Structure 1
């Protein structure tokens, strides 16, 4: 049985009867997204604690997410609720001091510098391999699937891995570098399906441990290493899938310099990253605190400026709507396997992870975020690069 918030019917009734402080303001904002308080539609929010309104007005997105984690409110279709809030662009109006403080920190500090590089690995990816094994596909790909002809998560992620190989032209015997290799799924795929060799780097000890086990006996090397430490090696191709969100704007140029240094003449680099519709140096405060510390989603402008004269953009492919479907598939698998997981994770974690997956699905559904694959070459492909879809 799935855990649920403790309901206090008397408090709910109280909140309905009285003119609770802050409720009119919150209700007015929600109405613009066609979301009602204690309404009867799946995307309406059900409020269990009357103090929710003041809490949200004081802390906005961070308070909204934390209140959900603590059972102060519920929603039968949280993904659709967030989709409506984002589509109404309420996120552009409701800013808290947390956002301002994060901007100040990002401008004054290098939040993704060497000394902090392992924080996201320890906080997020080292939570437990059992969680990700339960939620992800057979290849353990923790990024957007490619659903063009797929019906299942396994099919979508297999199609995405094959799409990457075809875009950069992997051949038998090629040596491929995966920057931010996760649990080794891509390198395992290129070894088994394309006869290539690979090196993967990650800042997560748990990822490295499991990736080595999954790639045992294959021509694949997994390293616990920061990308900035890559020195003195060259590769036929380089890929980085779902890792660039942890690089940070102050390090974009360094990242591309490292990749170019590692790439043989004539080789191709495929970068896959979530994309932001606007330019920012920070991320959502709730996501920063509970899911991906120090993360930043790049914009088109930030990528173009960092690429500069380092790479020619041979192809730019956006399949952002596929991330909505991917996140919903992860959520269903997480819920289906919760009985096996809850011995290690409590109800608060369940609600946190639910809010993470479903709110992100809503954001992609509203097209606030995109998913980009860029094919990049150091000096331009001779002749004509044929885009692969």
Structure 2
């Protein structure tokens, strides 16, 4: 019985196959990626609970992630496992059951990024505890892809990213900058210290706001707990790093309209976000449930359609391949500092967070996901815009 037969049986109500048939189907899929079931290579998976096979065949990526959290399988190199698995598009080979179809349908019909749910991502993800993130991130608490072009460690790579953004925005003393999705204020603090700018940063996380205000004390930085739709001021420049992924595809145009409304005619808008090569209307079910609620990774097409008629694209840079090094550095920090924070969490959280970081690293390593930095202007930079990198 092949995987399509298994899928048909699920939808006709017939017996979906024996445990051996589920196992054989999984084995065939993994072999296409060069992964051996219960093999000896570090990227091979070792199954500890035979229920794993049926769970994955029925629930796809959600079942794969949840069964890992439950300890049903293990792998020495999760990042390598995913770098090998993702390119063969396993979800197409495992036809998801009605629960996953309903998830996609719900995302398409409803608007998970609507204003009434704007603060859910902050409460579920960014408010997990500043101790978690301070023991995982660099010294400036930058929670986005670092720029490793000439950097040797995470701290210098994140500073290089912040410097790159400042140079692309052509910041100068006295500029007033809006930071949409400011996190713990890493950009705001850097721009104020190094370039003499005044920064207004907005976040939907109470934990980020609290620590960010402490880190930026004494600088011309104002951090607010505020949704982007409620900003009603004009700025010399706008920056948004790693926030657009939480906007939701139904709100892309409204987001761009708000940015245009808040940007002066001669200003620049730098948008830094993760990107997908395919347009989707629903996010990954496991990431949606456990890591980033109401979030979806945009495609280039979706971004360009959203900004059409509002901005001129001056420059686009892709350095998504640097996210692999960033994520693996975050995991090393998280793992090495686990003893400092484990009293606030549990072993299932550790496995969940490890799975999140290393599966993401694998996705960027195989170039399934990208990181784009757009430089946008309202009417085009007079004389042209010369890119820096």
TM-score interval (norm. to shorter): over 0.9
Per mean C-alpha deviation after superposition, the further-off stretch among 80-89 and 161-170 is 80-89
Structure 1 residue ranges without an equivalent (≥5): 1-17
How far is 1:95 from its partner? 4.2
Unaligned runs of 5+ in 2: 1-17
CA contact (8 A) 2:78 2:359 kept: yes
TM-score (norm 1): 0.94
Q: Does the aligned pair in 2 maintain the 1:21–1:54 contact within 8 Å?
A: no
CA distance in 1 between counterparts of 2:185 and 2:103 reads 32
2:140 partner SS: coil
Q: Deviations over 1:16-40 (max 9, x none)?
A: xx97351100000000001111100
Question: Closer, same or farther in 2 for the Cα pair 1:95/1:216, shift >3 Å?
Answer: farther
Contact persistence 1:278–1:299 (CA under 8 A)? yes
Query: 1:10-25 to 2 correspondence within 5 Å?
Result: 20-25=20-25
| Shift in CA distance, 196/19, structure 1 to aligned 2, threshold 3 Å | closer
CA distance in 2, matches of 1:19, 1:94: 15
Matches within 5 A, 1:164-313: 164-231=165-232, 233-313=233-313
Q: Report if the CA contact (8 A) 1:85-1:91 is conserved.
A: no
CA separation in 2, counterparts of 1:135 and 1:336?
Answer: 9
1:107 Cα deviation from its structure 2 partner:
2.0
- DSSP 3-state at the match of 1:342: helix
Match of 2:130 in 1: 129
Q: Secondary structure at 2:344's aligned position in 1?
A: coil
User: d(CA) in 2 for partners of 1:153 and 1:322?
Assistant: 11
TM-score (norm 2): 0.94
Pairwise CA distance, 1:288: 0.4
Equivalent runs, 1:143-162 vs 2, <5 Å: 143-162=144-163
Aligned 8 A contact 2:318 2:372 in 1: yes
Tell me if structure 1 keeps the 8 A contact 2:108–2:282.
Answer: no
Q: CA RMSD in A?
A: 1.1
For 2:157 and 2:347, how far apart are their aligned partners in 1?
Answer: 30
**SS, match of residue 373 in structure 1:** strand
Matches within 5 A, 1:101-140: 101-140=102-141
8 Å CA contact retained: 1:313, 1:375: yes
Per-residue deviation, 1:104: 1.2
Aligned length: 371
The answer as to whether partners of 1:20 and 1:50 remain within 8 angstroms in 2 is: no
Q: CA offsets, 1:47-99, max 9 Å, x none?
A: 10111111111111000000000100000001000110012222343342343
Residues 388 and 92 (structure 1), Cα distance of their counterparts in 2 relative to 1, 3 Å cut: farther
Residue 53 of structure 1 aligns to a residue whose secondary structure is: helix
